[in-house]
Amino acid sequence: MSLTKTELLELYKYLRLTRTLEDWIYTICVHQDPKQPLIIGKGYLSTGQEAVSVGAAYTLEKGDWLAQSHRDFGALLVRGMTVDELLAQYFSKAASPTKGRDANVHLGNTSKHVLGFISHMGAMMPVANGIAWGAKCRKNPTVVLAFFGDGASSQGVVHEAMNYAAVFKLSVVFICNNNRWAISTPVKEQFTIENIADRAAGYGMPGAVCDGNNVVEVFETVKKAVDRARKGEGPSLVECKTMRMTGHGTHDMAKYVPEDELEHWKKRDPIQNMENYLKEKKFADDAYFKKVVADMKKEVEEATEKAKQMPGPKVENESRDVYAP
């Protein structure tokens, strides 16, 4: 299961690209002219928790599926979606995955085996089960990753989906992104158990906890669950402990988060962790990291200019693709 130097450097690039893209989205949302906005609505970012989606998605094979949450741009990039596509989505352009009908993070791309995101937290879990059921009926060794957060872990639909997957041995790996805050509600007010993954025993599936700020540990933990599912041994629940280093969205300044908590997690930044790891392995140095940052910045800037020139959606096309033929 050990990752090669090439794979580790690629993981680092995905972390950096996700951070660069989302930092730019934040900048636009905060500084744009509200009378002529480039982004309609708000940004929903994964700052400080990029390792969860990047590390987990990196375990998948081409035929596997991703049931994303709203902070999984890293996973979308790993699955082959481009910065051009994601910015076109945020800019509500006709060439975006939703053809300009929606914005922000409400998107999917079935050609890349990425399910369209359902905004109600937890609602993707039974959809993931449906994909896994279809694969099982076709005798395909397909695995589905299903992401949800600590807040959504309390929803009935999440419990029902995990119980159902366990009973029928569906090849779903449930990823709980425990980023400590369900909008403004801290984990201490959500449940009394130490680990959400401890609930796995009640469903009859394995549960595992990993450091969500360590992309290598996320990969290794999720890979074990993915391999198990692919062999037909059923679902698993993986809890990734991390921290949401921004508000719920770009409109939320997160004044409710204690300053000492933020300071504690800043020292555990997943990108800095990966840079330290690569230095220890002698796979990269500061000059390499500086070049990657510059390359990612250029990619995002060029994609921004390209997306700005894209046409917006036309009114006469608003009813297309609404109903299946």
Domains and their CATH numbers in the chain:
5-311 (3.40.50.970)
Q: Which residues of the chain have pLDDT under 70?
A: 1, 325
Nearest Cα residue to 156 out of 125, 183, 193, 202:
125
pLDDT digit string, tens, across residues 77-103: 999 999 999 999 999 999 999 999 888
Whole-model pTM: value is: 0.96
What is the C-alpha to C-alpha distance for residues 48 and 242, in angstroms, rounded to an integer?
Answer: 8
Alpha-carbon gap, residue 253 to 270, rounded angstroms:
21
C-alpha to C-alpha distance for 73 and 18, rounded to whole angstroms = 7
Taking Cα atoms as reference points, which of 155, 154, 195, 183 lies closest to residue 244?
A: 183
Give the pLDDT confidence score for residue 325 in this predicted structure. 67
pLDDT for res 316: 87
Give CA–CA dist 129/125, Å, rounded. Answer: 6
Contacts of 70 (CB under 8 A, 6+ apart): 44, 105, 117, 119, 121
pLDDT of residue 86: 98
Cα distances (Å, whole numbers) of residue 255 to 26, 78, 261 = 17, 32, 12
Nearest in space to 20 (alpha carbons), one of 301, 242, 308: 301
The pLDDT, as a whole number, for residue 321 is 81
pLDDT for 1 equals 59
Torsion of CA 211, 215, 216, 218, to 10 degrees: 50
Residue 26 and residue 45 in contact, taking contact as beta carbons nearer than 8 Å: yes
